[in-house]
């Protein structure tokens, strides 16, 4: 099946004006499948401290602003592998994919605030000589990207928030349910990898019925010393779920070009969010990708790339 084409009949874009608003659980303290050993013990969350994030950088033209991808909750930098390669080839830009703290190959920490995640990037991006950059963040990564742009606008040449807004998102998310299902998985020691994934998939399926979501969550199941563990820091994520679903209150605005790229089948960004989007991002535009859910880049990768390229031009 050919990838969907991008054109006026397949999407709609509008600048956020006054009329745009009319457009249409707590659990046990242990994991049956344990969390991978922390690579950073941390000393509490009183003062955020930057962590050395894991990343992959694709080379490109240094004179052009780099494109930086930030994944969502339970994700990793590998979520954007094929998209990053395509964008690097098509635009000639450097493209960076990053594992957030407590995700992928990045260190674990008890602090999972957006302030801490923003600070991690404030350390990494200048270190790699990637500022100002084009910041593309999905879901949790989109909130991190928005906060970084609001705090340090000089580091962000332009901003793309993928299917997320600077508002509370608990009411439309199933993340707490997913986490409870992940913590309940029980895999015997010394089983082969293929069998372990099959067991985990079977145990997740009654709660996480969407096979694509299950496969996404199972990317976090890894083998360490003969046993299967979750590489995401479920403990920290569970403790800070309210924080992750919220967004820090800000008075300042980001003056740069901003695109809110939404999934046509998703309910994460509601019209009631538009006034706050306009307040914080006065140059915001919105584009909807039809037939895409919350994971826009996975559901419609060609449309996703086309939308980014259109915003860069």
Burial class of 16 by CB neighbour count within 10 A (0 to 12, 13 to 18, 19+): buried
Residue of 111, 120, 163, 235 with catalytic role? 235
Residue of 118, 139, 165, 173 with catalytic role? 139
CB 241 within 8 A of CB 268: no
Which three-class secondary structure state does DSSP give residue 9?
A: coil
Beta-carbon neighbour count of residue 118 at 10 Å? 23
Asked about 139 being catalytic, the answer comes back as yes
Distance, CA of 183 to CA of 178 (rounded, Å)? 9
Residue of 294, 297, 299, 303 with catalytic role? 294
Asked about 273 being catalytic, the answer comes back as no
Sign of the alpha-carbon torsion through 183, 231, 217, 10: positive
Asked about 9 being catalytic, the answer comes back as no
User: Which of 153, 145, 157, 88 is CA-nearest to residue 121?
Assistant: 145
Which helix (H) or strand (E) segment holds residue 91: the answer is helix 81-91
Catalytically annotated residues: 139, 235, 294
């Amino acid at each position: 099946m050919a990838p969907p084409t991008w054109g006026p009949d397949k999407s709609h874009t509008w600048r956020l004006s006054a009329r745009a608003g009319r457009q249409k659980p707590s659990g046990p303290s242990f994991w049956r499948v344990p969390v991978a050993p922390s690579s950073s013990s941390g000393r509490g969350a009183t003062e955020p401290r930057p962590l050395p994030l894991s990343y992959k950088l694709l080379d490109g033209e240094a004179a052009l602003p780099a494109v930086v991808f930030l994944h969502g909750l339970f994700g990793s930098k590998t979520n954007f592998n094929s998209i990053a390669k395509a964008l690097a080839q098509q635009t000639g830009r450097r493209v960076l994919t990053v594992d957030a703290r407590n995700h992928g190959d990045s260190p674990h920490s008890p602090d999972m605030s957006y302030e801490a995640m923003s600070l991690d990037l404030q350390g990494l991006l200048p270190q790699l000589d990637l500022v100002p950059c084009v910041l593309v963040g999905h879901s949790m990564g989109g909130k991190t990207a928005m906060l970084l742009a609001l705090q340090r606008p000089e580091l962000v040449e332009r901003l793309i928030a993928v299917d997320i807004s600077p508002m509370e998102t608990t009411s439309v998310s199933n993340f707490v349910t997913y986490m409870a299902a992940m913590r309940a998985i029980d895999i015997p020691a010394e089983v082969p990898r293929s069998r372990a994934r099959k067991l985990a998939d079977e145990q997740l399926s009654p709660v996480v019925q969407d096979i694509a979501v299950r496969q996404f969550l199972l990317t976090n199941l890894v083998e360490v010393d003969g046993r299967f563990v979750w590489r995401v820091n479920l403990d920290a994520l569970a403790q800070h779920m309210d924080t992750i679903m919220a967004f820090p209150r800000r008075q300042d605005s980001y003056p740069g070009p901003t695109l809110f790229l939404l999934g046509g089948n998703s309910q994460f960004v509601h019209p009631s969010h538009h006034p706050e989007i306009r307040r914080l991002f006065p140059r915001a535009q919105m584009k909807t990708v039809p037939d895409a859910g919350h994971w826009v880049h996975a559901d419609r990768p060609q449309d996703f790339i086309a939308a980014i390229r259109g915003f860069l031009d």
